[in-house]
Amino acid sequence: MNATAQAPAHADPGRPLKVGPGRRSSPLSWRWRDRVALACAWAAGLGLCLIATAIVVYMGYRGVQYLRPSLLGSRPALGTSQADSGGFLDPLIGTALLTLIGIVLAVPLAVGSALWIAEYGRPGWLARVVESSIEIVAGTPDIVIALFGLAVFQLSLLAPLSFTASGGGVFGKSFIAAGATMSLIALPPLFTATRDGLQAVPAHMREAAFALGKTRIATIRRVLLPSVRPNIATGVTLGISRIIGDTAIVVLLLGETLRLDPQGSVPGLGLLRGTGSTLTSYVYGNSPAGEGAAPQKAYAAAFVLMVLVLALNLIVDRIGRSQAEATGLTVAGAIA
Amino acid sequence: MLKRLRDPWPDHRAELTLGAVSLLVGGVVVAMVAFVGVHAWPTFSHNGLSWLGSGGTLETQIANMQATGVKAPASAYHLRAWPLVYGTLLSTVAAVVLALGIAVLSSIFIVELAPARLRRIAVPVIRLLASVPSVIYGLIGVLVLVPFVGNDLITASQKASVQNVVELTGAGLIVTVAILTVMITPIMVALICEALVSVPNSWREGAIALGVNPVRAILAVTLRAARPAIVAATVLATARALGEAIMISMVSGSRSFTPKPIDGLLFLFEPLRTLASAIVDYHEGVGAPALGSTLYAWALVLLFSAFALSLAGYLIKLPLRRYQVRG
């Protein structure tokens, strides 16, 4: 069987040797095992693309079917039917607020530790420990991180940050608690993007700065940070899409209340100390798995969520492409 | 004071500040183990190693914990978590095995086979699949796939045959594994593609020049060179599948039933519950000491599994480094 399959390569010795691009081997002459592998690879690749397209098209169809502009502007309400349970203004605000808190906390931590690892990193063992602990955080399930956050914010020391019951029990659920925990979710992609960017900066740029008499920190501020700005932007975008897509932390740490529920009388702080919900927890709560059982609302909110995720994806793509054009480098790790 | 901050920083102060930030980040892992471990301890001290065993119904044990209230007697901690561990292992292993095959094949398709125009579409489309939030997967699962499986795939006689044991609604193993596979495949594809691209072109050309056909060259040379990345991708995907909570809690039927392969075709339709999804299902009860401690015990098991996975991935990749291939 082997001999017949490979025979054409040696066939017809009398013909003059053909010079040029050569004859492509045709799948028809391969062994059947290779042909099956070829077919499977095509099927798997096209199948994945089809599934992705089907999800987007289906969510788009449901979104057009159920999303009304009034839903975006009206607050959720307790209602018995899907017609009078209101819109999802509060979850939208909740998503925005939570993303803001999470990113504001995560950026200095991630960029700071990436800078230390890439530019200082002494002693070496400590740098390795920090690097691998960030890897561990990246691999930790979000539900475990959520329980950890709950344990931290239920400490009586941190009681002012969340709602305290009359008996003195600390509730541990608030925008601050959820946002701080979310920053752990956003940290690994942000750290990886920044560190990879720093490592891709050519050494001669640093050397030129040192030769001009700049200190390390001045080099970081004037040379390195400007040149890794696109990487940080990519990291921030990835972090945002992690945060807006996360449900477990919201369910455990934001209280999943129907409306924003400020605690205390101080306007801004009260909101931060209060509970609320986000788009993800709204979808979860209104699906048959939650209590709401309002699938139309769940589809509409999920459509909005999907549009946000698509937009963030486009931004990552744009940043990556413009950076690739400018430097010839690609933003690594843009998916995971 | 402010002037000191605004002036150019001396190098050692910058190094110390950045180092302190890094230490803070590194300390998070220690804090995580400490907090989760302390909260989980009562459960383990009351149950010992038989915690992992089977026996009794998980739902009644949980109800018992909830009933005892704030001052829990020692008997309230009784728990046999085997159904959850089994459910987690089953769904994770099945999804990872399926995803590994699909991911390797589709990475080959993307890097080696697809025409350039198709590749430009396929890469962002698959990347999108990786960033779809799990709650959307859960929503599609519970509103589309579960009714489809429940109404069209499971026949009435099949439902009737097991109605005294378990109710088959469609939510169960097959929907869970299918969606989990779709969720983790793109992560693997990303890593494997990156490695396939970085394999030197001359290796592949050398193999083809020796007379094998392109597919054989890919399977024998390129794929072998990308092994560390395949291991890394598998580890990452396993961690993701282990920890998936929301989606599984929505589509798995959320019953601590252990699907048995001996049931034949029905095995695919039986409900299950995983460690992560059980935490979501019972999170309201975290205030009750016995149940709260139990939730943290489940989380601790997940946490240590994640540790073990990263360690295993690192150890497996060590000998492969000798071949000087990236991963």
Interface ipTM: 0.89
Distance (Å) from the C-alpha of residue B178 to the closest C-alpha of chain A?
Answer: 11
Residue A7 in contact with partner chain B when CB distance is under 8 A:
no
Higher pLDDT residue, B225 or B264?
Answer: B225
* CB-CB contact of A295 with A286 (8 Å): yes
Cβ <8 Å between A217 and B190: no
Of A297, A304, A289, the closest CA to residue A81 belongs to A297
* CB-CB contact of A23 with B211 (8 Å): no
Residue A121 in contact with partner chain B when CB distance is under 8 A:
no
Burial tier of B106 (Cβ tally within 10 Å: 0-12, 13-18, 19+): buried
**The pLDDT of residue A71:** 83
Please give the C-alpha separations between residue B32 and each of A202, A208, A255, A268, B27, in angstroms, as whole numbers: 37, 42, 21, 30, 9
**The pLDDT of residue A165:** 63
Put simply, the chain A residues between 179 and 198 with a CB less than 8 A from any chain B CB are 184, 187, 191
Of A155, A301, A143, the closest CA to residue B241 belongs to A143
Report CA B29 to chain centroid distance, whole Å: 19
Of B251, B248, B247, the closest CA to residue B142 belongs to B251
Q: pLDDT per residue over B40-67, tens digit each?
A: 998 888 888 888 888 778 888 888 888 8
Residue B88 has pLDDT above 80, yes or no: yes
Cβ <8 Å between B127 and A298: no
Structural tokens at position A130: 């920090």
Buried b (16+ CB within 10 A) or exposed e, A194-213: bbbbbebbeeeebeebeeee
Cβ <8 Å between B129 and A312: no
Question: Rounded distance, CA A92 to CA A97, Å?
Answer: 9
User: Which residues, other chains included, contact B69 with Cβ-Cβ below 8 Å and sequence gap of 6+?
Assistant: B288
Distance (Å) from the C-alpha of residue A275 to the closest C-alpha of chain B?
Answer: 15
Of A70, A16, A67, A52, the closest CA to residue A283 belongs to A67
Q: Write a three-state SS string for B268-288.
A: HHCCECCHHHHHHHCHHHHHC
Question: Rounded distance, CA B199 to CA B226, Å?
Answer: 7
* CB-CB contact of B143 with A315 (8 Å): no
SS3 label, residue B23 = helix
Chain A residues touching residue B187 (CB < 8 angstroms): 335-336
**The pLDDT of residue A336:** 34
Q: Write a three-state SS string for A149-171.
A: HHHHHCCHHHHHHCCECCCCCEC
Question: Rounded distance, CA A267 to CA A260, Å?
Answer: 12
Put simply, the chain A residues between 70 and 109 with a CB less than 8 A from any chain B CB are 108-109
pTM of the model: 0.88
Of A120, A150, A313, the CB nearest to B286: A150
Residue of A46, A140, A194, A296 best to disrupt the B interface, most CBs of B under 10 A: A140
Q: pLDDT per residue over A191-208, tens digit each?
A: 999 999 999 999 999 999
Cβ <8 Å between A51 and B182: yes
SS3 label, residue B117 = helix
Question: Rounded distance, CA A120 to CA B30, Å?
Answer: 23
Side-chain-facing half-sphere of B108: CA atoms under 13 Å: 27
Chain A residues touching residue B185 (CB < 8 angstroms): 48
Distance (Å) from the C-alpha of residue A271 to the closest C-alpha of chain B?
Answer: 22
**The pLDDT of residue A168:** 60
Residue B92 has pLDDT above 90, yes or no: yes
Question: Rounded distance, CA A232 to CA A195, Å?
Answer: 9
**Average pLDDT score, chain A:** 83
Mean pLDDT calculated for residue range A137-166: 84
User: B13: nearest CA in chain A?
Assistant: A217
Residue A330 has pLDDT above 60, yes or no: no
Residue A250 in contact with partner chain B when CB distance is under 8 A:
no
**The pLDDT of residue A329:** 46
Distance (Å) from the C-alpha of residue A197 to the closest C-alpha of chain B?
Answer: 17
Question: Rounded distance, CA A95 to CA A218, Å?
Answer: 37
Q: Write a three-state SS string for B60-89.
A: HHHHHHHHHCCCCCHHHHCCCCHHHHHHHH
Residue A155 in contact with partner chain B when CB distance is under 8 A:
no
**The pLDDT of residue A15:** 57
